[in-house]
Each structure stands twice: as structure tokens, then as C-alpha cells.
Amino acid sequence: MTESNTLTQSTVPNSDVDRVVIRPAIASDVRAIKDLVDPFARDAVMLPKSLTDLYESVRDFMVIEVGGEIAGMGALHVLWEDLAEIRTLAVHPDHQGKGFGKQVTIKLMEEAERLEVGRVFALTYQEKFFKSLGFRVVDKQLLPKKIWGDCIHCKKFPMCDEIAVVYDFRPYPEGPIGPPPELPQVIDLKVLVPGLGEKKE
């Protein structure tokens, strides 16, 4: 992953109005981040995020600023010694297909490398996008159960059709990803959602 604060010359127009910067988010970006997330969450393409969620995780975020406006963002959330998730990744529809999604993801991957996290995963519908960045598809069941705690807020829960993609910075053996499944901090969905999986009368 290459280091760059601004996008490559070919994607950066000369005018300040269109100047593109990818930078860590600050607290005052949060409302713009929420405005970007909300329409995607309504379409169940992304998980909804409250302002509280976003303020509490603002340090996970990189934003894409175009001419002073937030045009996209992505977050890297560390879950374990060797595991982090790319989440809340989106580019405003007016700016999609310009390489911004790829550039912000590369910045998040550089952050994962800096933190010496060995693996990064995402739950997504954007298989081709992540494959273009070197991710591979894995069985969702291999991911730590903890991550499903957020899924109860999704419109599609529990009928999730997202795929899991993983990028390994170093080789790992086949099998469960992240913390050992038997650890007590792993969330049990049947405790979180009483009655889950039981037949309705």
C-alpha cells in the first residue's frame, strides 16, 4: 500500500474548488458522514449509524474531502490483535467511479499495517470492488460472532446476504478468523435477540 495524502495527479483537478484530500476525520465531520450513510442505510446497503455511534468511533474514520465537502468515508475498526474490519465505507453517488473508494480503502489498509494488524475483513455486497484491492471471499461463518452484534440494527437481519472478504498481510492457517470462538466476550445472538431461531406459532 502506497502512502499519499492527496489523490494521484491524474485524479486531482487544478482548481481549489475540486481539490481532493483524504484525511483522518474530525468530530465536526460527523454530521456530514451521517448524511452520507443515511440514504445507503435506508436502502439496506449499509448498516445504519447513530450520531452517538459515529462520534464514539470518529477516530476510526478517514474522509474524502472534495472542494471542502465530505464526498465519502471509510472506517477501520480494530477487533483483535490480528483483525480489523473495514466498515461504513461509501462514496457519494455523484463521486462514485472516480477512484475515491479505492484511495480511502488504501489509506485504511495503510493504517492497519501501521497498527500491525495482520488481517482486514469487510462484510459487503461489493465483491468486485474489494477483489480489485486484493481481498478474497471467505465463508462468513469463519468470522468472530462478535461482529453480528451490529447486524441486529440491519433491515435484512437475520436474512443477511452480504459476503465476507479478507485481506491477509501475512499468511494465516485455514480456519476461524480473529479471537478463538470459545472466548467469553464473543456475543451470543440468542442472548441478544431472545427467541431467535425459534419457530413462530
> In terms of CB distance, is 74 or 118 closer to ligand COA?
74
Asked if residue 34 binds ligand COA (CB under 6 A), the reply is no
User: What is the Cα–Cα distance from 139 to 115, expressed in whole angstroms?
Assistant: 25
- How many residues lie near ligand COA (CB under 6 A)? 20
All residues at 6 or more sequence positions from 83 whose CB lies less than 8 Å from its CB, including other chains: 117, 118, 119, 120, 121, 144, 177, 178, 179
Asked if residue 6 binds ligand COA (CB under 6 A), the reply is no
User: What is the Cα–Cα distance from 179 to 146, expressed in whole angstroms?
Assistant: 9
- Identify which range of 25-33, 39-47, 151-159, 181-189 contacts ligand COA by CB under 6 A: 39-47
Beta strands in the chain (DSSP E): 20-24, 61-66, 69-80, 83-91, 119-124, 136-138, 163-168
Shortest Cβ 36–ligand COA spacing (Å): 8
- Measured in degrees and rounded to the nearest 5, phi and psi for residue 20 equal -110, 130
> In terms of CB distance, is 151 or 193 closer to ligand COA?
151
In the block, cell 451470543 appears at 188
Residue 134 grid cell: 486484493
Shortest Cβ 184–ligand COA spacing (Å): 29
Residues 88-117 as x/- pattern, contact with ligand COA by CB under 6 A = -xxx----xxxxxxx---------------
Footprint of ligand COA (CB under 6 A)? 40, 45-46, 89-91, 96-102, 122, 124-126, 128-129, 132
